[in-house]
Amino acid sequence: MFSRSTLQHRITQLFLTVILIFASNIPYANSTTINWYTGGEAKISMNPIPDDSSASIFFSGKTTQKTLIVKVAKKDALFRSNQIPLTPDGSFKVKYLLKDGVGNYTITFFGSEQKNATNFQGLGSFTKTVNTPLKPDLANLELNSKVIEFINKVIGTTVGRGECWDVAQKALDLTLADWNRPTAFGQPIDPDTSEVKAGDIIQFSKLTTVEHLPSGVVRTGILGSPDHTAVIYKVLGKKQYTLAHQNVRGKRSVITSDINLANMTSGKYWIYRPVALMIQL
């Protein structure tokens, strides 16, 4: 026979055991449920995604895929489709910034067994409701210094195919920037009213400059036939920049050259500030 105290102790132990068994079958508390597509769950292992109403998401886990893409779509807003950086063993850990305000977002993961692939298989998706907009310091998190770090590494080398656009594309993708192909490189900057910084991206269209030198020589420069992309490497003065670019003057490697846009006689140009979409953790 058990004493009353022993019996009460055994009952308490049994009750706790039942609770633990029941709890082990409950999904991770306050975590988002992912709807997996056929075979998707076997190709990517996601750590629990917090189920909250904030304007950012933490993605972490491991995948067998060589290329992992996340597509984020919100009704009445442009969707974003970006590559998630992977370590050699397929691990990833990033903070994704939701920049289109309050509302409902659909987040979908795609993967490929090929590195830098162009065709992907859907892996899974989930929805998220945002009730609080992203804070300005995150929505406008500048990447200029990281872009310049990249340029310093590639000067004198050929980036991608050697096309001018490849330099901006590589710089923005490596820094996890918020941009939309082909030429929406970030936040538009008005050089007449805003400060232009080294690391900004500049896009030219059929631009011509004419400079009258003290020697009497007239020097004409053309950028964009029809289009040309460059990174502002240094700011020399008002509308005066050192550019880092390739596929210019017959060279398919990254070089630097100066331009004074006060001497522009025709054509157009646009300047963009690179800002973060994801933060690698």
More confident residue, 153 or 20: 153
Q: Distances from the Cα of 146 to the Cαs of 82, 171, 186, 209, in angstroms?
A: 18, 8, 14, 30
Burial 214-253 (b: 16+ CB within 10 A, else e): eeeeeeebebbeebbbbbbbebeeebebbbbbbbbeeebe
253 alpha-carbon distance from chain centroid: 25
In this predicted structure, the answer to whether residue 29 has a pLDDT above a threshold of 80 is no
In 3D space, the residue among 278, 58, 95, 93 whose CA is nearest the CA of residue 176 turns out to be 278
Residues 6+ apart with CB under 8 A from 156: 253, 254, 255
The three-state secondary structure class of 280 is: strand
In this predicted structure, the answer to whether residue 88 has a pLDDT above a threshold of 60 is yes
Which tokens hold the place of 163? 């096309």
Instruction: Using a pLDDT cut of 90, give the percent of the chain over it.
Output: 78
* Mean pLDDT score across all residues of the chain: 89
Which tokens hold the place of 124? 């899974």
Q: Which domains does the chain have, with CATH numbers?
A: 35-139 (2.60.40.10), 144-280 (3.90.1720)
DSSP alpha helices (H): ranges in the chain?
4-24, 136-139, 144-154, 164-174
Three-point CA angle 231, 235, 240, nearest 5°:
95
Confidence category of residue 8, pLDDT binned at 50, 70, 90: low
Which tokens hold the place of 160? 């991608």
| 57 burial via Cβ count (<10 Å: 0-12, 13-18, 19+) | buried
Confidence category of residue 154, pLDDT binned at 50, 70, 90: very high
Q: Distances from the Cα of 271 to the Cαs of 203, 218, 252, in angstroms?
A: 6, 27, 23
Is residue 69 within 8 A of residue 82, CB to CB? The reply is yes
Least confident of 27-31, 36-40, 126-130: 27-31
Over residues 33-58, the pLDDT tens digits come to 999 999 999 999 999 999 899 999 99
Least confident of 27-41, 113-127, 136-150, 179-193: 27-41
Tokens 């859907």 identify what position?
Answer: 122
SS3 content of the chain, % helix, strand, coil (to 5): 20, 45, 40
Q: Is the peptide bond before 182 cis (omega within 30 degrees of 0)?
A: yes
More confident residue, 51 or 64: 64
In 3D space, the residue among 50, 58, 129 whose CA is nearest the CA of residue 278 turns out to be 58
Confidence category of residue 215, pLDDT binned at 50, 70, 90: confident
Biggest distance spanned by C-alpha atoms of the chain:
115
Query: What is the rounded radius of gyration, in angstroms, for the C-alpha atoms of the chain?
Result: 26
In this predicted structure, the answer to whether residue 165 has a pLDDT above a threshold of 80 is yes
Instruction: Using a pLDDT cut of 70, give the percent of the chain over it.
Output: 89
Tokens 């075979």 identify what position?
Answer: 39
Least confident of 26-35, 103-112, 190-199: 26-35
